[in-house]
Amino acid sequence: MKAAVVFEKGSTPQYADFSEPKITPGKEVLVSVKAASIKNLDKARAGGNHYSTENDAHQPKIIGSDGTGYLEDGTKVYFFSKKGTVAERVAADKELIVIIPENLDFSVAAALPNAVMGSAMGLKCKADIQPGDTVLINGGTGITGKIAVQIAKLYGAGKIIVTGRNEKVLQSLHELGADEVISLQADDQSFQQKVKDLHDETPVDIILDYIWGHPVEMILKAIKGDGAFSHTTRLVSVGGMSGDSIQLSSQILRGTDLHISGSGLGSWTKKEMQLLFSQIIPEMFQAAVNGKIKIETENADIKNIESIWNAELPSGKRLVITI
């Protein structure tokens, strides 16, 4: 069969022949793949640079971590596989499959779940979002951040605040449900004051963070307690685009009711993963069908994997490889 294969660590995937998948009876099912999205996660894993693969011995492998296609009985599904997904046929984990609504496009269904994992899991499982909560999405102008705005709205957030550097995208987030936007292009003092003013007006319940680094340091300084009773704020780290570490003053921890956690591979429990596949993703697929969640894709045929792999994509679009 044909597949997108990385033959050497760090090399560009090639459209090549690969052995047919071997199915583990009772644990896996065969999927005829129609589409698979390519995320930063997939590129890092393909290059052996992700924390989940850095100790693995490299051997030729199919790229991708999830996708969409048909089961042997014709059922339309989204699936997850550790054996790679950008191939004509894949052995998929039987427990990690979601039926796709008939009127939902394969490409959209392939692109949406990763962004859902990067937003809904943090909001629902780590931050325990409640109707009426004030949510601050730090670094919300990327693909996952835009989905986070829409999901926070679906989950009943009372107020959504978004920070970001891309001014054009930042302003467009009002259309997706953002109530306030704060530019990370502003000077530190102006940025912190804006966050402080909004926090004083409507205390922030949840900070969903995609960039970490200095922006988080500024936000935490802005919400720091003043010695009186403080509001409980739950900070969930999802990404680290602005750096992998921060300086955190012990005074902030002593003076603020701050709960810090992370949301990503390794932090989710088995129960949470089951919830993702049994409830969260199906809900978001239906929301997409109903027009309540939108995600843009840039589709490319698997035959063109080498040329598209490092290509610059239109802002805000998820690359989807079609088969």
Residue type for 70, please? Y
Checking if the pLDDT of 203 tops 90, the result is yes
The Cα–Cα gap between 106 and 76 comes to: 9
* % of residues, the chain, pLDDT over 90: 84
Domains and CATH numbers, the chain: 2-114+268-322 (3.90.180.10), 119-262 (3.90.180.10)
pLDDT of residue 56: 61
Q: Which two three-digit tokens encode residue 95?
A: 């427990």
240-299 pLDDT, tens per residue?
989 899 999 999 999 999 999 999 988 999 999 999 999 999 999 999 999 999 999 999
**pLDDT band at residue 48 under the 50/70/90 scheme:** low
d(CA 138, CA 212) in angstroms, rounded, equals 8
Half-sphere exposure at residue 126, Cβ-oriented, CA atoms within 13 angstroms: 28
pLDDT at 110: 98
Tell which residue, 253, 276, 245, has the closest CA to residue 263: 276
Distance CA 208, CA 263 (A): 10
pTM of whole model > 0.75? yes
- Quick one: pLDDT at residue 43? 85
Distance CA 208, CA 171 (A): 19
Q: What is the pLDDT of residue 41?
A: 76
| CB-CB contact of 141 with 169 (8 Å) | yes
Cβ(98)–Cβ(285) below 8 Å: yes
Q: What local confidence, expressed as pLDDT, does residue 9 receive? A: 79
- The residues, any chain, with a CB within 8 Å of residue 73's CB and separated by 6 or more, are none
Cα Rg of the chain (Å, integer) = 20
Strand ordering across the sheet containing 258-262 = 180-183, 159-164, 134-138, 206-209, 233-237, 258-262
Question: What CA–CA distance (Å, rounded) separates 119 from 207?
Answer: 11
- Residue tagged 């809904």 (tokens): 120
What does the pLDDT look like over 173-183, one tens digit per residue?
Answer: 999 999 999 99
Are the C-beta atoms of residues 79 and 97 closer than 8 Å to each other?
yes
Q: How far apart are CA 250 and CA 234, in angstroms?
A: 17
What is the C-alpha to C-alpha distance for residues 322 and 68, in angstroms, rounded to an integer?
10
